[in-house]
Structure 1
Amino acid sequence: MSGIKDEKDGSYQGDMEPRVEKADVLHSEVLVNADLMNDAFDGENREHEMGVWQAAKQHPWACFWAFTMCFTIVMESFDMFLNGNFVALKEFQKVYGVQTGPDTYSIPTKWQSALFQSGQCGAFIGVFLAGPVTNRLGYRWTTILALVLMNATIFISFFANSLALLTVGQALEGVPWGFFIANSPAYASEIVPLSLRGACTATLQMSWSIGSIIVAAATLGYNKQANEWAWRIPLALQWIFPTPLLILIFLAPESPWWLIRRGRKAEALRSIKRLGEKNEEHAHQSLAMMERTVEIEAQMGGAPNLLDLLKGTDLRRTAITCLMYASQNFAGNLIANQATFFFEQAGISSDKAFQLNLINSCLQFVANVGSWGLSAWFGRRTIYLWGTATNITLLVILGICASVHQSTATNYAQAVLGILISFVFAGTCGPISYTIISETSSVRLRALSTAVGRAAYYVAEIPMIYLASKMLNTTGWNLAGKCGYVWAGTACVCWVMAYFFLPELKHRSYRESDILFNRKISARKFKTTIIDVRENE
């Protein structure tokens, strides 16, 4: 009988060629089945040979679904930048702030920090829930549930009539953010060919920029509104995202890697075809390649759990993931998150600060697009190290500009340097971090690893947000551009850690990555170590 056997009821689906029956070999038999192993070799070799443009032409739907999943992060971006702009809105300051001058008001540092940190606290809970839920339900249904929750929690923020209630609303909105950021890089990396991993996972950073552009435009348009709609209308704009994304994610294919891990090979094959693999033979080769990798990892450990992240070579991979996520908070990126307020503290007028913020957001988007080319030409390690080194230099110059006698020229110099720092981050460290994160973990532990890595991001970000607010606020340390010295120091630590511990995983299949980590190859030798296509360990 031809067709693919459904493991749930024993029936056969479809009227395929007899060749398809090889796809039904149990994972435990893949490594000893010569035909399937040859298919796996051919599938992996074909991925290595496929260029970026060829892969994009053959798999446009894979790119589309990867971008759709990554676009869910626009909601966290929108809210993060919105909070950063609220504290700079004159009407918001007047209603909720304390008077600091004849006609000037400021949101107290503790409430600034609370508004910024509450969403991150909620997201911290969300990322830990995301791993087990995703392992159980899959990327699609987990994300759909999070989008439904997002729609509901926006109501609390929109109708909030105090800083305390707004803070609670942000905390509850943060829970679905955790699901989005944990699932997006993992899903995107699993559904696209090897050569497209860098560009597609980098669209996460682009979603951040799109969110900041919408916020910058909305707050620029409403910053002169002399009533509560100056901030309620921007809050209401959050509802434009969840429902359309929910419909799209419902229509999207599930990750074939996740389906194979769950033993649903018939569905995995259909998913591979939906993602762009029209050639029947090539589809089966891709399936065999995935089965091979899943079986190799299954022999290393059983059902995935959080403790596995701390065992053996997975501990090293978890540490790299956590380092990459946490380092996003230490290279001056928090200046971008509070750009409008930073510009005002640097001596720029309120109107011009909002205009500069919009320019800054648009330039970040341009940098994100440029990062696709960088990831195609250069290695992940190279981009991260050079991007971080560039920002360290710019941060030191920012500190120097803020330390000399202040004038209109130094004010604008600080603003321009703030924009340049954001631009460099958006084109290098930001997007490439997501690529590194999605490639470093094993397939078996990917959902859990990306979740724990993002938790490390929040653990680092929550105190850093307080520090950033304290450094910039007039009721705090009022450092303005002198904060560049602090961020340059923390960025130096990230650079040193990356130099010694960050491996180069460009052009590496998941099987090759497993082997390199299991052999405990030095990070600086990953690029030059040769792994034969026939090696399993």
Structure 2
Amino acid sequence: MSLDEKTDALRSQSLSEKVVHTEVLADSDLLNEAYNAENDEHAMGVVEAIKAHPMACFWGFIMCFTIVMESFDMFLNGNFVSQKAFQQHFGVPHPTADDPTAHVIPTKWQSALFQSGQCGAFVGVFLAGPVTNRLGYRWTTILALALMNATIFVSFFADSLAVLTVGQALEGVPWGFFIANSPAYASEVVPLVLRAACTATLQMSWSIGGIIVAAATYATNKHMSPAAWKIPLGLQWLFPLPLMVILFFAPESPYWLARKGRKEEALRSVKRLGAKTEKAAAEKLAMIERTVELEKLHGGQPTLLDLFKGTDLRRTIIICLVYASQNLAGNLIANQATFFFEQAGMGATFAFQLNLINSCLQFIANACAWWLTSWFGRRTIMLWGFAVNTTLLVLLGICASVPQNTHTNYAQACLGIIISFVFAGTLGPIAYTIIAETSSVRLRALSTGVGRACYYVFEIPLIYLASQMLNPTGWNLAGKCGYVWGATAAVCWVMSYFYLPELKHRSYRELDILFGRKIPARQFKNVEIDVKENE
């Protein structure tokens, strides 16, 4: 090693020791290092960031993959109500001209199956914030995975709709932990330019769960024994244990460690996430600590009440509205796709085939979202997503209102698939990015939990409404439900236009400043923030 290299190494080591033991805001040298790190993140391109931080991408994806279990169960219940063996075992007689022995799951039990897991998740998201603040993202998720492993037993051995409903409610509690922690952790471990792509993998994990369910239920659909639904239920055990083992070796979020004052561990975490040199790691930690210290000036130990005070109230409202909008843009059609296809006039076997195709197309749409988030802003994607789906949903309603024949049946099925595709490529993935970026670092674990709770507050009654609209024992509207979801999607477009700011290419420090200045949503994009500003 040359003399210059030894000198640089000693300086880097000295800088690392300094950032670990000194407050950044009180040291001009460390502030300069924080400026450098933030400027580097702004200048970094997508490909460059992936090459420089492959492990950060990996750990972000693994954490996001936990949501596959909520997706799995949501789609599973949607397929069970269309499964012949499940209907015969748990349903009530509903003879038709084509099948005098036909059974159907009553609307109240359809709703209960869909709603029970979300009720459990509602509890889970409120528990997730305080537990994560105490234990960290890593250990909280590992404990939730262990709980998931245990609760699957109740559903698997259930022999009545009541017990199955209880099992789904118990499984819902760990879902709440997964969905609260995943976007927060993913957004904190990757560079700024990768935040959207990484958090968007939440929606991809949702689609992966849908594909596995669609394939499993299609394969078992013709079985008339309890294995028809027990095999898909048992497949849930594929995920928790491997994820527990992998996440045991995951680095904790350096932002969480910095908030806890565990700076040496935060520095090691930064290195594991991709910092190539001692100097780069120290600069990144300085940037993180600067943001954490600035937020501490506005409050101490985070509490749920802090979410509803000052500028954090605005941020909480945006997160809640974005989460709620996921249930109001026609997405519930996708969650009950097989049943929707049957009500649109498709045969049972073909409905399961269409559902599998629909799930695969959603996965493709999720992959397209990675590129969309690189080209367009968060606000732009949301507005266009709502506009397109509003139009398609109204067309679905019109198609279901004219005299029905084979052509209108296929048209409704195709529109249902296109609506799901648009959601999976725009509104679904970008929502998780907005939620992770809008919250302040100090309150992130709490705000993502409360936002998801708002999602369930809307989803639970809307699931009942969706089942009531589609079920032959309910309102039997079939594709006419497009009018209802088209109206709610239009309301979401209006709310987004006036209240949703553009968050792309903004560091967490810059977002704190923009919200602190109470900049109107439509002006966020044009406000310039100097790298040296501390507010």
TM-score tier after normalising by the smaller chain length: over 0.9
In structure 1, what is the Cα distance between the partners aligned to 2:20 and 2:102?
Answer: 71
Q: Aligned partners of 2:282 and 2:497: how far apart in 1?
A: 39
Aligned to 1:452: 450
Q: Is the 8 A contact 2:78 2:336 kept in 1?
A: yes
Report the equivalent of 1:169: 167
Deviations 1:479-536 (A, max 9, x none): 0000000000000111100000000010000000000000000000000000000001
TM-score by length of 2: 0.97
Query: Which of 188, 198, 201 is residue 200 of structure 1 equivalent to?
Result: 198
Q: CA deviation at 1:278?
A: 1.2
- Secondary structure of the residue aligned to 1:190 is helix
The match for 1:245 is: 243
Match of residue 473 from structure 1: 471
Residues 449-479 of structure 1 show CA distances to partners (whole Å, capped at 9, x for unaligned) of 0000000000000000000000000000000
C-alpha separation in 2, matches of 1:497 and 1:160? 43
State the Cα deviation string for residues 241-296 of structure 1 (Å, max 9, x = none): 00000011111100000000000000001000100111211111100001100000
**Shift of residue 24, structure 1, vs aligned partner:** 2.6
- The Cα of 1:226 is off from its aligned counterpart by 1.1
- Do structure 1's residue 23 and structure 2's residue 19 form an aligned pair? yes
How far 1:135 moved relative to its partner? 0.2
Mapped partners of 2:24, 2:278: distance in 1: 19
Task: Indicate the SS of the match to 1:146.
Answer: helix
- Aligned mates of 1:391, 1:181 — CA distance in 2: 24
Aligned residue in 2 for 1:93: 87
TM-superposition CA deviations, 1:37-93 (whole Å, max 9, x none): 000100100000000110000000000000000000000000000000000001111
Residue 222 in 1 paired to residue 216 in 2?
no
Shift of 1:196: 0.2
Give the aligned partner of residue 157 of structure 2. Answer: 159
Distance of 1:484 and 1:17 partners within structure 2? 62
Q: Could you tell me whether the CA contact under 8 Å between 2:344 and 2:413 is conserved in 1? A: yes
Amino acid at match of 1:166: L
Q: Secondary structure at the match of 1:123?
A: helix
Q: State the alpha-carbon separation in 2 of the partners of residues 21 and 433 from structure 1.
A: 39
CA distance in 2, matches of 1:274, 1:312: 36
Partner in structure 2 of residue 484 of structure 1: 482
Q: 1:346 aligns with which of 344, 347, 354?
A: 344
1:311 aligns with 2:309: yes
Q: In the TM superposition, what is the alpha-carbon distance from 1:21 to its structure 2 partner?
A: 2.2
Q: Deviations over 1:425-465 (max 9, x none)?
A: 00000000000000000000000000000000000000000
- Give 1:258-269 correspondences, 5 Å limit: 258-269=256-267
Structure 2 distance, partners of 1:30, 1:422, is 47
Q: Report the CA distance between 1:16 and its aligned residue.
A: 7.4
Structure 2 distance, partners of 1:310, 1:35, is 36
Report the AA paired with residue 21 of structure 1: E
Which residues in structure 2 correspond to 1:273-284 (within 5 Å)? 273-284=271-282
The gaps in structure 2 that reach 5 residues or longer are 1-9
Distance in 2 between residues matched to 1:532 and 1:226, nearest whole Å: 66
* Counterpart-to-counterpart distance in 2, 1:443 and 1:316: 15
Instruction: Read off the aligned partner of 1:199 and give its amino acid letter.
Output: A
Instruction: State the alpha-carbon separation in 2 of the partners of residues 503 and 536 from structure 1.
Output: 21
Residue 43 (structure 1) aligned to one of 37, 46, 52: 37
How far apart are the structure 1 equivalents of 2:15 and 2:442?
27
Match of residue 114, structure 2, among 101, 113, 116: 116
CA distance in 1, matches of 2:243, 2:318: 31
Shift of residue 19, structure 1, vs aligned partner: 2.4
Q: Which amino acid aligns with 1:167?
A: T
Amino acid aligned to 1:123: A
1:28-427 equivalences under 5 Å are 29-101=23-95, 102-427=100-425
Distance 1:17 1:78 in 2: 47
Count of aligned positions: 522
Q: CA deviation at 1:15?
A: 12
Deviation at 1:32, TM superposition (A): 2.5
Alpha-carbon distance change, 16 to 536 in structure 1, aligned in 2, over 3 angstroms: closer
Aligned partner letter, 2:108: K
Residue identity matched to 2:13: E
Mapped to 2, the partners of 1:387 and 1:18 lie a distance apart of 50
Q: What SS is found at the alignment partner of 1:300? A: coil
What is the alpha-carbon distance in structure 1 between the residues aligned to residue 149 and residue 158 of structure 2? 15
| Structure 2 Cα separation of the partners of residues 17 and 286 of structure 1 | 14
More deviation in 17-26 or 30-39? Answer: 17-26
Q: CA deviation at 1:307?
A: 0.1
SS of the aligned residue for 1:348 comes to coil
Could you give the per-residue CA deviations for residues 108-167 of structure 1, whole angstroms, max 9, x where no partner exists? 000000000000000000000000000000000000000000000000000000000000
Q: Deviations over 1:362-392 (max 9, x none)?
A: 0000000000000000000000000110000
Match of 1:507 in 2: 505
What's the offset of the Cα at 1:30?
A: 2.0
- Shift of residue 31, structure 1, vs aligned partner: 1.3
Question: Who is 2:4 aligned against?
Answer: none
Would you say the 8 A contact 2:318–2:500 is kept in 1? yes
Unaligned runs of 5+ in 1: 1-13
Residues 15/146 of structure 1: CA separation in 2 closer, same or farther (3 Å cut): farther
Structure 1 distance, partners of 2:486, 2:231, is 37
CA RMSD of aligned residues (A): 1.0
Any idea what SS the aligned residue of 1:330 has? coil
Q: What secondary structure, in the 3-state scheme, does the structure 1 residue paired with 2:36 have?
A: helix
**Structure 2 partner of 1:10:** none
Counterpart code for 1:365: F
TM-score by length of 1: 0.96
CA distance in 2, matches of 1:36, 1:379: 32
